[in-house]
Structure 1
Amino acid sequence: MASPITVYRARRIITMDPSCPSATHVAVRDGRILAVGGTAETSAWGPAATDDRYADSVLMPGLVEGHSHAWEGGVWTFTYAGYFDRHDPEGRRWPGCDSIEATVARLAEAERILPPGETLFAWGFDPIYFGETRVTTADLDRVSATRPVVLLHSNGHVMNVNTPVLERSGLANANIDGVLRDAGGRATGELREMAAKYMAFKAVGNPQHGIMAQGDSLHRFARLACRVGVTTATDLFTDLPDPVVAA
């Protein structure tokens, strides 16, 4: 016996099909689309139940994200410090940090409630919006002069750290590629690429390791995707062990 058919009615359906660019009805059975068009096209499949939950909505095919990182579902465990407003998996809107002062203030707020002994990790920072001004250890030392502070850049290749991280890792005086220095030869706290970043992570921990092993990280990523209409996402980087996918 065939499964029942449901016809969803919408104010408009964007089909992405040049021969029929818009429609008002879509017939579905067992999660598969049978027909898109008007009542004539959908009724041709036989008796169906009508569902009007989208009657005042615009429907469109799900978007395909060809370059994504599922670990974003878990990275929201840490402090967002990006330039643009952004919603977390639970739907909370986080205002963007539109200046270095705003970035420092966001980190200082997070530091005040972080348990003693834990490293403060923040992510999403992008210096291209601040002209020639760069974040330095002096900025992050204002967040804390004792707790390690790590500010990950949005590109994944660069990060800034405060003085405690430089001291614990030995990077202040190390001859390692990627440690940005000022005119006087002092480390500014900006670390570029893996050689320098590895030393810092070795000293204070790497927040990206094991992030997908957290029980709900993949589900939180899925919520982020659905929030912006993405139904298919490709990730060629993140480790997704079978237990995580099965959960």
Structure 2
Amino acid sequence: MRIDLIIERARIWTGDPGRPRAGRVGVWGGRVFGLDEQLDGVSADLVLDAGGAFLAPGFNDVHAHSVWFGQTLLELDLSGAASAEEMLQRIAGHAASLPEGAWVVASNFNPLGIRGSAASRDDLDRATGGRPLWVKHASGHAYTLNGAGLAAVGIADHPSGHIDGGRIVTDASGRATGLIEENAMSIVQRYHLPDSRSDIVKALRAATERYVSEGLTSVTDAGVAGGWIGHSPQEFGAYQLAREQGALRTRMQPMIALDALHDLAGHDDDPVASGLDAGLRTGLGDEWLQLGPVKVFTDGSLLGSTAAMTEDYEQCPGNHGYLLGEPEELREKVLRAASAGWSLALHAIGDRAVDFAIETIAEAQRRSGAPAIPNRIEHGGVVRDDQLPLLAEHRIALAPQPFFITTFGDGMAAKLGSGRIERSYPAASLLRHGAMLPGSSDRPVAPGAPLGVIQAFVERLTESGAPYGPNERISAEQALAAYTRGSAEATGWAGRKGVLAPGMLADMVVLSDDLTAVPSERISQLDVLATVVGGELRHGSLDERG
């Protein structure tokens, strides 16, 4: 028999507990044909020599923002800015290259990384030469505008009125500082959005090219088409266009933002439901592009002290964050989406928000049954011990982001205190309770290269090197399993990808060494030699054998 591809002389970690290691893998029709002795007597159109390199199932990030990430690759990058002076210098240099009156758009700003005083809105006006400025915070939950930017989007110098679930921050005199939080960000987005389909395709091409260079073969986009996280009401259509044009280099599963859904008419026997026209819902699509869950924001961020906690933030008496809206109204919207067949993905960072998410998902499953693609909680910045068994009982996937610890850990520890960091972004305790543990980054909120996230799973060290909830550390092999078969389970693809076994999708990453065997500090330094998606080499190269 002749098949499409055989990769030989590899140190293969299959992810299959029944057959954990192998040396050869064959591919036919985009799927794994066999391993080792299953390939005896079989030839292939292409035979590649891995030269003893380490081969594993392709990485799968279940929570990233691909259009947003792609845009950051095309915008001014403020990551790593350590002072107001450095931030202002970068902005001034970029602004000088733009036409007069053009917007200066910057991404990846982390206010917790700024030493000393922050730049004022007047400082920012001087840096841009009067051009309007839009700074997107790395958290995704705040923007900073200068005075010209505030005026352009229609925010008064001394704003008045209340914004439910959001805030235009003012100083002691009532003057807008330029900081805009949570739901108030919609004011800025109404001015700038929607993005064009061609711009979205360009961002997706840039993002997925980076993904495959890092060994990612599947990614879930955590919110498109609505709310402050979306870029256009036609965003999923832009994903389809990107696929048709060959711009998608990885498999994609976009979530639809709750705000994109609307009430659906139906038969009197049908449940009261909300969704998309024609009843389109989670699961539509194929192994390359599939509608994921509906994305719902229940609270804010740790970085902005807006995540909803049951206890006050450390050194902030009276501030325990808040839910983004009236709980009963939000719960009813979520239940109506579940009635239409949508799986649920509830952003919940604080433990109070996790309570709300667990209760709402449990009620949705009582009413509508457990969906084929599991219901999920995104983040879990603080998860109490009493909540862990409920996640396992209701088969709710929790998607934590361990690289938040590497990037923002010192600031998060200061806000939470020593007790709560032991329950922050859990990993080991999820496994102990038999709950799902996928791999995810929330990129571009934090860096998203999978090897770095895997190292963070293992080490749990802050940017200063301090331990952060060390009892939640897991082994490198457990972290690799999370980024492969754990992610497949959380996204509804268990038994079809995430493991190298006959019949599985032939998605693979080839690394310069065995990440389960090297010292943990070396994991992020390994080279991605090749990435294979559906049996096709989409990054790197291996020697071809005659």
Q: Cα distance 1:3–1:236, how it changes in 2: closer, same or farther (>3 A)?
A: farther
Normalized against structure 2, the TM-score is what? 0.38
Q: Which amino acid letter does the alignment assign opposite residue 158 of structure 2?
A: N
* 1:1-247 mapped onto 2 (5 Å cutoff): 4-36=3-35, 38=36, 40-43=37-40, 46-48=42-44, 51-71=47-67, 72-82=69-79, 96-130=80-114, 133-168=117-152, 169-176=154-161, 177=163, 178-195=167-184, 197-202=185-190, 205-206=191-192, 209-210=194-195, 212-214=197-199, 215-238=201-224, 239-241=235-237, 242-247=240-245
Q: Cα distance 1:162–1:4, how it changes in 2: closer, same or farther (>3 A)?
A: same
RMSD: 2.6
Contact kept in structure 2, 1:74 and 1:211, CA below 8 Å: no
Q: Distance in 2 between matches of 1:74 and 1:134?
A: 25
Contact kept in structure 1, 2:2 and 2:43, CA below 8 Å: no
After the TM superposition, which of the residue ranges 51-60 and 110-119 deviates more from structure 2? 51-60
Q: Which amino acid letter does the alignment assign opposite residue 169 of structure 2?
A: L
The CA deviation string for residues 132-156 of structure 1, in whole angstroms up to 9 with x for no partner, is: 8544313422322410011111222
How many residues are aligned here? 226
Question: Could you say what secondary structure the match of 1:7 adopts?
Answer: strand
Q: Report the alpha carbon displacement of residue 61 of structure 1 after superposing the two structures with TM.
A: 0.7
Q: Distance in 2 between matches of 1:16 and 1:167?
A: 55
Q: Report the alpha carbon displacement of residue 73 of structure 1 after superposing the two structures with TM.
A: 2.0
Q: Cα distance 1:98–1:132, how it changes in 2: closer, same or farther (>3 A)?
A: closer
Q: Report the alpha carbon displacement of residue 53 of structure 1 after superposing the two structures with TM.
A: 4.3
Q: Cα distance 1:132–1:171, how it changes in 2: closer, same or farther (>3 A)?
A: farther
The CA deviation string for residues 79-135 of structure 1, in whole angstroms up to 9 with x for no partner, is: 1212xxxxxxxxxxxxx3233332222222211211222101111112233378544
Structure 1 unmatched runs, 5+: 83-95
Q: Distance in 1 between matches of 2:75 and 2:196?
A: 11
Q: Cα distance 1:50–1:201, how it changes in 2: closer, same or farther (>3 A)?
A: closer
Contact kept in structure 2, 1:9 and 1:50, CA below 8 Å: no
Structure 2 unmatched runs, 5+: 225-234, 246-546
Q: Distance in 2 between matches of 1:6 and 1:199?
A: 52
Normalized against structure 1, the TM-score is what? 0.78
- Corresponding residue for 2:374? none
Q: Distance in 2 between matches of 1:115 and 1:246?
A: 34
Structure 1 stretches (4+) deviating beyond 6 angstroms? none
Contact kept in structure 1, 2:159 and 2:175, CA below 8 Å: no
After the TM superposition, which of the residue ranges 208-217 and 53-62 deviates more from structure 2? 208-217
